[in-house]
Amino acid sequence: MMGFTIALAGNPNCGKTTLFNKLTGASQRVGNWPGVTIDRKTGKIRGMTDAELVDTPGIYSLSPYSPEEVVTRNFLLEGNPDAVINIVDATNIERNLFLTLQILDTGIPTVVALNMMDTIEKEGGSVDAKALSEKLGCPVIPISALKSEGLKELVEAAATAANECARPAAIKFGDDIESLISETESALADKVPEEKRRWYAVKLAEKDATVSEQFPEIAESLKEKSAAVEESYGDEMDSVISDARYEIIGGLVSGSVKRAEKDEKDGTLSDRIDRIVTHRIAGIPIFIGVLGAVFLGIIGFGDITGIGTYLTDWLNGYIEDPIGTSVEQWCADNNVSEPLTGLIMSAFIGGVGAVIGFLPQMLVLFLALCILEDIGYMARAAFVMDRVFRFFGLSGKSFIPILVGTGCGVPGIMATRTIESDRDRRITAMSVTFMPCGAKLPIIALIAGALFGNNGFVALFAYVLGIVVILMSGIILKKWRSLAGEPAPFIMELPPYHLPSVLNVIKGTLDRGWAFVKKAGTIILLASVFVWFLASYDPSFNYLGADATTDSILQTIGQAVCVIFQPLGWADHWELTVGTVTGLIAKENLVGTLGTLFSLDEVGDAGEEYWDILAAYLTPAAGMAFLVFNLLCAPCFAAIGAMHRELGTWKATGMAVAYQCCIAYMVASIIYVIGSLIWGTSAEISGIVIAILSVAALVYLLVAKDPFLIMDKIGKKEEAVAE
């Protein structure tokens, strides 16, 4: 027997990955949340030497909305699978068959796997697979992926279909539509292989955008005839055809599907819970309550330490002592040179250690979120928030990453993975770090303590500012060419509630934690080594000794570039610029760096020792501008690395960082001038000029319909020149 490839295709959340894992023995992530599989995965079917199985992202239709749906469509059409297993969620059979009909059109040998039969049976319903199979013209195998029932029969049927190349017969629409299709099929005769012709013809009749672009003349020649059909149905072609599909589905289902007797008035328990948690008004406070509880439990509040904070404090302490102290001792005992000791202590223990210290916090947070996700609550939360966020051009699913980002930007950015639409995912990944993360809290405490008598409103201001800038970015970024378009339609359906699966939850938690550790071991280490070098050597490369930052290369650079912060009111003090740079390693570094630069031996968490120095250096307005710039500008290297993972290229990551720095600069200059007015202090002239320009620019970006048009034109010119 020759080797063959079998594709798995189906709606989101119908059990594809569960089946894939069962058949291949792999352990891909399964989530009770549509959109978990965002790439194709390939594996060998167990017990068969030459059969390859390809898991694809879930789709509702072969006219895709979002990039990962394109992955599936392209694989089915161009990947030449020998057969496709179309998984149908039997509890939602009508909507799932909508895709099935389109798959049958592709002419690929198809086997329908009727999944979730355990649920159907439990509820007392039934599906006559044999009758359905006769009507569909392809094998229909009842299975339960979860309980491993019917899998052997399924694999056999798929192998037979692939071997015999059993192409399904088309299921025909009414005569008027069919005559349009068959005419198109003849026009496609020398362009598309015979077995796929019907699929392309139907898509052309539907006026599918991608296929119409592929065959513009045929699409053009169809216009007149389809106008006649549209006239007679009084509807657009795509609706005419989808109505026709649902009519066919009605015929398929009647007589072969028997539904469980449900209490019509109250619905299932799941329905009743949903009526409360997704309620238009009550849904939002419930959501805030659930997440509030999670966050209080993990991060803590006031004098109460949350479990995550507790563990992180412990690990941070442990890394410092005994690990740090014994490494230092070991270096001393073994005559390790001073610079090398400095490198090890500051880059490994200080830089990477500080980041690893956050790991327990993150693991506990991931664990809680994975549980909420697995029981099915996260899908409801996204549904509730969608109404609010859509107004600003973001989708409801953006809310979770932003929330996670208040703990740490890295997992926040990684949590954007669950957003299906590429556009929403990118915009969210670029905005998450505007929210103050845990590591920015010391900076807030520093400014609040030094300049505002520890006023709690400084912290509140930081969070409100974060949200405002995120919502603003939603409006601005969606106007960017490569991010254009409406937020993806929210067609995610609500998955059933169930008890969390221990394996799923643990795997999900460890996967995300491991990704973070890898990052800490690579990019953060490199960046830490680099900054250590700049801070420990003078411009003629003489080693300055541990903890010396004066006379260093960093100071030289700081003195040279600090002039750009003149409009923000803190250019006269290069130490602040250097602190901003070292904050890129980890934001809380800023407080320690300033301590070193002010030649202090001991510096507390919020830099209490030098509050008076800062108060002498900065007006309150300049202090606010300093704080705002550091909150909003490029995040730490770890978060930049995470952005790179989600955005895909360094170019896109660079653009994102540039965007963040520009916004930070603009907002900080505005705050500086407003603050100077409020507190009646003098402001730099350059600051006033920049602030006025910034207000104009922000208003323009928010109001103009196509503010990036000029940039696009420049981009096009560059491309033309390059050619």
User: Which spans of this chain sit near ligand GDP (rule: CB under 6 A)?
Assistant: 10, 12-18, 30-32, 34, 36-37, 58, 115-116, 118-119, 144-146
CB of 30 to Mg ion, least distance (A): 7
Question: Measured from the CB atom, is 116 or 446 closer to ligand GDP?
Answer: 116
Distances 322 to 143, 153, 521 between C-alpha atoms, Å: 55, 59, 21
Beta-sheet pairing, 83-89 with 110-115: parallel
The entry of Mg ion, ligand GDP, none that residue 675 binds, CB within 5 to 8 Å by partner kind: none
Alpha-carbon distance of 541 to 723, in angstroms, equals 44
CB of 504 to ligand GDP, least distance (A): 7
Q: Which of 17, 63, 115, 473 binds Mg ion (CB under 5 A)?
A: 17
CB of 18 to ligand GDP, least distance (A): 3
Alpha-carbon distance of 29 to 527, in angstroms, equals 31
DSSP strands (E only) in 128-266: 140-142, 257-258
The entry of Mg ion, ligand GDP, none that residue 442 binds, CB within 5 to 8 Å by partner kind: none
Say if residue 139 is preceded by a cis peptide, omega within 30 of 0.
no
Question: Measured from the CB atom, is 37 or 66 closer to ligand GDP?
Answer: 37
Question: Measured from the CB atom, is 149 or 320 closer to ligand GDP?
Answer: 149
Question: Measured from the CB atom, is 155 or 244 closer to ligand GDP?
Answer: 155
CB-CB contact of 262 with 268 (8 Å): yes
433: which 2 tokens? 């770090």
539: exposed, middle or buried (C-beta count within 10 Å: 0-12, 13-18, 19+)? exposed
Number of residues that bind Mg ion (CB under 5 A): 4
Alpha-carbon distance of 522 to 524, in angstroms, equals 6
Q: What DSSP assignment string belongs to 648-710?
A: -SHHHHHHHHHHHHHHHHHHHHHHHHHHHHHHT----HHHHHHHHHHHHHHHHHHH-S-TTHH
CB of 86 to ligand GDP, least distance (A): 12
The entry of Mg ion, ligand GDP, none that residue 449 binds, CB within 5 to 8 Å by partner kind: none
Question: Measured from the CB atom, is 17 or 580 closer to Mg ion?
Answer: 17
The entry of ligand GDP, Mg ion, none that residue 586 binds, CB within 5 to 8 Å by partner kind: none
CB of 115 to ligand GDP, least distance (A): 5
Alpha-carbon distance of 552 to 477, in angstroms, equals 39
Does the footprint of Mg ion cover residue 421 (CB under 5 A)? no
Three-state SS at 562: helix
Does the footprint of Mg ion cover residue 21 (CB under 5 A)? no
Burial 392-425 (b: 16+ CB within 10 A, else e): ebbbbbbbbbbbbbbbbbbbbbbbbbbbbbbbbb
Question: Measured from the CB atom, is 17 or 72 closer to Mg ion?
Answer: 17
CB of 505 to Mg ion, least distance (A): 16
The entry of Mg ion, ligand GDP, none that residue 118 binds, CB within 5 to 8 Å by partner kind: ligand GDP
Question: Measured from the CB atom, is 95 or 225 closer to ligand GDP?
Answer: 95
For 572, phi and psi rounded to 5 degrees? -70, -10
The entry of ligand GDP, Mg ion, none that residue 527 binds, CB within 5 to 8 Å by partner kind: none
Burial 603-614 (b: 16+ CB within 10 A, else e): bbebbeebbebb
The entry of ligand GDP, Mg ion, none that residue 512 binds, CB within 5 to 8 Å by partner kind: none
The entry of ligand GDP, Mg ion, none that residue 219 binds, CB within 5 to 8 Å by partner kind: none
CB of 120 to ligand GDP, least distance (A): 9
Place of tokens 């905005």: 431
The entry of Mg ion, ligand GDP, none that residue 350 binds, CB within 5 to 8 Å by partner kind: none
- State the residue number with the nearest CB to ligand GDP: 15
Question: Measured from the CB atom, is 117 or 624 closer to ligand GDP?
Answer: 117
| Closest to 428 in 3D by CA, of 419, 436, 437 | 419
Taking contact as CB under 5 A, which single stretch among the options 37-45, 151-159, 493-501, 638-646 is the one that binds Mg ion?
A: 37-45
Does the footprint of Mg ion cover residue 37 (CB under 5 A)? yes
Question: Measured from the CB atom, is 13 or 582 closer to ligand GDP?
Answer: 13
Residues 6+ apart with CB under 8 A from 622: 568, 569, 570, 672, 675
Q: Which residues bind Mg ion (CB under 5 A)?
A: 16-17, 36-37
